[in-house]
C-alpha cells in the first residue's frame, strides 16, 4: 500500500499544468466501441481508471493500446465478440457501466455487472436501466448482472426524462440511442462539459444529436458510426482543485499560474463564489492565475448539476473555508453523505460539523499534521491540500484513491514548491504502540 507524505509550511508557488479529463476520457473510450475499426484519443491522462476501463474493453474483444508517455490511447474495435462487462472489473470503477450503452449500441446485447455502491452511498443505476427500457431494450436483472438486448435491427428509440439529472445516465443513453432504428429524446439531460465533449465526438463519428449543452437532447439513430481521432478535454476538476490549492496554500500576494485548463468548464457559479472570497483570479485562454489575499472571506456553497458548483470540488472548498476568518457552509445537493473527508480533516484540527448534507466550517483553526485516510479521490486530494498548510508531516494513506483521478499529483506539486513524496507502508502491520503512546 502507498501513502503520500506532505510537509506543510512551504508555499505553493506553481506553475501547475492540468492533464486530460478523466470524466471525458472514459465516455470517449466507450464511444470507440460503436465503430468497427481503430479509433484514437489524445490527451488521455495516465490514471488507474483509464487502465481499468482499458481492461474492461479488452474483455469484450477490442484491443486497447495506451501510450502513456504520449497520453494517446487507441482502441481497435473491429471485432467485438464478447458483450460482457464482469463484476471483478465493474466493481473497481462505476463508469464501466457505460459498457451497457456501448454494447447495446454496437451489438444489440449486453451482460453488464451492476456497479455496486461506493464510499459515500448507494449510487444507483435505475435511471440507466429505466431509460434503456424506454428506448426499447429488454432488460433482466439476475445475480448482480444486467442482461439487456434490443429487438432485431436495434432499439426502436423513445423518450425518457432523467430525475434527477444524471451525467452517467445521459452518457449511457446516448451510447445506446445513436444507433437506434428510430428517434430518441432525453429530457432533463446533464450539460457537464464532459457530456458535451463526448456528444461532439459522437457527432464527429456520424451520430445525429441536437441540443448538446441543453437539458433536452434529441437523437436520430443512424445505421453505423465511423472511427476517428478525438482530443480529450482538459480535466476541469483538476483545474478547480489546483485553483483552490493556490487559493489555500500560496503566499499571499504571490501569483500562481495554472496552465492548459479550460476555465469555461468550471462553470459560472464556481467563479462567482471564488471571487466572493476575495481571491484574485485572472482567466486567460491557456492560463488561470490565482493570487491569494492576506485574508479570505468565508463563502458558503451548494453543489448542483452543471452549470452549478461541481460536487467533485466540495471537499476541496471545505479546506479553503478552513483558512478564512469566519464560518460558512458546504451543502451537497447531489449526494447525501459525501463527507467522509470531514472526520479526517478534524484529525488535522479543522473545526467542522456535519448535519445531513451540510457541513459547517469554522475558519481559522491552526492545522497540525497527522495520519489520515483517503476514502475517495476528491476526499483524498482535500487531505493533501490540508497537509500543505498543516504544521509538520501529514501521511495521506490509501493513495490509490488519488491515483484513480490525478495524474502524477505528487510530482506536479513537488515541482510547484510543495514538500511531498510517496512511500510504501504496510496497512496491516502490528501498530508500534511505543511511538503511538
| Residues involved in catalysis | 118
Task: Give the residue, chosen from 25, 57, 100, 169, that forms a contact with ligand EPZ under the rule CB under 6 A.
Answer: 169
What's the CA gap between 170 and 213, in Å, rounded?
Answer: 11
Residue 381 falls in which region: left (phi positive, over 0), alpha (psi -120 to 50) or beta: alpha
Mask for 131-160, x = binds ligand EPZ (CB under 6 A): ------------------------------
Q: How far is the CB of 335 from ligand EPZ (least distance, A)?
A: 5
SS3 readout for the chain: CEEEEEECCCCCCCCEECCECHHHHHHHHHHHHHCCCEEEEECCCCCHHHHHHHHHHHHHCCEEEEECCCCEEEEECCCCCCCEECHHHHCCCHHHHHHHHHHHHHHCEEEEECCCCECCECCCCHHHHHHHHHCCCEEEEECCEEEEECCCCCCCCCEEECCCCCHHHHHHHHHHHCCCCCEEEEECCCCCHHHHHHHHHHHHCCCEEECCCCCEEEEECCCCCCCCEEECCECHHHHHHHHHHHHHHCCCCCCEEEECCCHHHHCHHHHHHHHHCCCEEEECCCEEEEECCCCECCCCEEECCCCCECHHHHHHHHHHHCCECCEEEEECCCCCCCCCHHHHHHHCCCEEEEECCEEEEECCCCCECCEEECCCHHHHHHHHHHHHCCECEEEEECCHHHHCCCCCHHHHHHHCCCEEEEEECCCCCCCCHHHHC
By the rule CB under 6 A, 335 interacts with ligand EPZ? yes
Q: Which residues pair with 184 in a beta bridge?
A: 219
In whole angstroms, the minimum distance from the beta carbon of 294 to ligand EPZ comes to: 32
- Smaller CB distance to ligand EPZ: residue 4 or 190? 190
Site for ligand EPZ in 188-207 (CB under 6 A): 194
Picking from 156, 59, 154, 75, the residue whose alpha carbon sits closest to that of residue 113 is: 59
Shortest reach from residue 392's CB to ligand EPZ, in Å? 29
Decide if residue 167 touches ligand EPZ (CB under 6 A): yes
- When asked if residue 348 is in the footprint of ligand EPZ (CB under 6 A), the reply is no
Our finding on whether 377 is near ligand EPZ (CB under 6 A) is yes
Q: Is 124 among the residues that bind ligand EPZ (CB under 6 A)?
A: yes
Among 3, 17, 50, 94, binds ligand EPZ (CB under 6 A): 94
CB of 97 to ligand EPZ, least distance (A): 8
CA 31 to chain CA centroid, nearest Å: 18
d(CA 335, CA 337): 6
Q: How far is the CB of 405 from ligand EPZ (least distance, A)?
A: 5
Task: Give the C-alpha separation, 384 to 155, whole Å.
Answer: 46
Site mask for ligand EPZ (CB under 6 A), range 1-40, x = bound: ---------------------xx--x--------------
- As measured in angstroms, the least distance from the Cβ of 82 to ligand EPZ is 23
Please, which residue, 23 or 289, has the CB nearer to ligand EPZ?
23
Q: State the minimum distance, in angstroms, from the CB of residue 85 to ligand EPZ.
A: 15
Residue 334 near ligand EPZ by CB under 6 A: yes
Considering only residues 387 to 406 of the shown chain, the ones binding ligand EPZ according to CB under 6 A are 405
- Tell me how far apart the alpha carbons of residues 429 and 133 are, in angstroms, rounded to a whole number: 49
What x/- string results for residues 54 through 73 when contact with ligand EPZ is judged by CB under 6 A? --------------------
Total site size for ligand EPZ, rule CB under 6 A: 24
Segment interacting with ligand EPZ (CB under 6 A) among 153-161, 165-173, 352-360, 388-396: 165-173
258 forms part of the interface with ligand EPZ (CB under 6 A): no
The Cα–Cα gap between 348 and 343 comes to: 9
CB 169, min distance to ligand EPZ, A: 5
- Should residue 359 be labelled a site residue for ligand EPZ when binding is judged by CB under 6 A? no
Stretch binding ligand EPZ (CB under 6 A), from 65-73, 120-128, 133-141, 279-287: 120-128
Q: Give the residue nearest to ligand EPZ (CB).
A: 168
**44 near ligand EPZ, rule: CB under 6 A:** no
Asked if 265 is part of the footprint of ligand EPZ (rule: CB under 6 A), the reply reads: no
String marking each residue 227-256 x if it binds ligand EPZ according to CB under 6 A: ------------------------------
Instruction: Return residues touching ligand EPZ (CB under 6 A).
Output: 22-23, 26, 94-95, 123-128, 164, 166-169, 194, 311-312, 334-335, 377-378, 405
Amino acid at each position: 500500500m502507498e501513502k503520500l507524505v506532505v510537509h506543510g509550511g512551504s508555499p505553493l508557488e506553481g506553475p501547475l499544468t492540468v492533464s486530460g479529463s478523466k470524466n471525458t476520457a472514459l465516455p470517449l473510450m466507450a464511444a470507440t466501441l460503436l465503430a468497427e475499426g481503430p479509433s484514437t484519443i489524445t490527451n488521455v491522462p495516465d490514471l488507474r481508471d483509464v487502465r481499468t476501463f482499458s481492461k474492461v474493453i479488452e474483455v469484450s474483444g477490442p484491443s486497447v493500446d495506451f501510450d502513456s508517455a504520449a497520453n494517446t490511447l487507441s482502441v481497435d474495435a473491429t471485432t467485438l465478440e464478447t458483450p460482457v462487462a464482469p463484476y471483478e472489473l465493474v466493481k473497481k470503477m462505476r463508469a464501466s457501466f457505460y459498457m451497457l450503452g456501448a454494447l447495446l449500441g454496437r451489438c444489440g446485447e449486453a451482460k453488464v455487472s451492476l456497479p455496486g455502491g461506493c464510499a459515500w452511498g448507494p449510487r444507483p443505476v435505475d435511471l440507466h436501466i429505466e431509460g434503456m427500457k424506454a428506448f426499447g431494450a429488454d432488460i433482466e436483472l439476475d445475480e448482480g448482472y444486467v442482461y439487456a438486448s434490443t429487438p432485431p435491427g436495434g432499439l426502436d428509440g423513445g423518450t425518457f426524462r432523467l430525475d434527477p439529472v444524471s451525467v452517467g445516465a445521459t452518457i449511457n443513453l446516448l451510447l445506446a440511442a445513436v444507433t437506434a432504428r428510430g428517434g430518441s429524446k432525453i429530457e432533463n439531460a446533464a450539460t457537464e462539459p464532459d457530456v458535451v465533449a463526448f456528444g461532439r465526438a459522437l457527432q464527429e463519428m456520424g451520430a445525429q444529436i441536437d441540443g448538446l449543452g441543453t437539458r433536452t437532447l434529441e437523437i436520430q439513430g443512424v445505421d453505423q458510426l465511423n472511427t476517428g481521432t478525438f482530443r480529450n478535454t482538459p480535466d476541469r476538476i483538476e483545474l478547480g482543485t489546483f485553483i483552490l490549492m493556490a487559493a489555500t496554500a500560496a503566499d499571499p500576494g504571490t501569483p500562481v499560474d495554472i496552465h492548459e485548463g479550460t476555465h469555461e468548464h468550471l462553470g459560472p457559479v464556481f467563479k462567482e463564489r471564488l471571487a466572493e472570497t476575495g481571491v484574485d483570479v485572472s482567466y486567460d485562454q491557456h492560463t488561470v492565475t490565482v493570487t491569494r489575499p492576506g485574508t479570505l472571506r468565508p463563502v458558503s456553497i451548494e453543489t448542483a448539476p452543471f452549470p452549478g458548483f461541481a460536487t467533485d470540488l466540495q471537499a476541496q472548498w471545505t479546506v479553503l473555508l478552513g483558512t478564512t476568518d469566519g464560518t460558512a457552509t458546504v451543502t451537497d445537493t447531489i449526494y447525501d453523505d459525501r463527507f467522509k473527508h470531514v472526520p479526517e480533516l478534524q484529525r488535522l484540527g479543522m473545526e467542522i460539523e456535519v448535519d445531513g448534507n451540510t457541513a459547517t466550517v469554522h475558519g481559522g483553526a491552526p492545522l497540525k499534521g497527522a495520519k489520515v485516510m483517503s476514502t475517495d479521490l476528491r476526499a483524498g486530494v482535500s487531505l493533501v491540500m490540508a497537509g500543505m498548510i498543516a504544521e509538520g508531516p501529514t501521511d495521506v494513506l490509501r493513495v490509490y484513491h488519488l491515483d484513480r483521478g490525478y495524474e502524477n499529483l505528487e510530482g506536479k506539486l513537488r515541482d510547484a514548491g510543495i514538500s511531498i513524496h510517496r512511500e510504501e507502508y504496510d496497512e496491516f502491520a502490528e501498530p508500534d504502540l511505543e511511538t503511538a503512546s
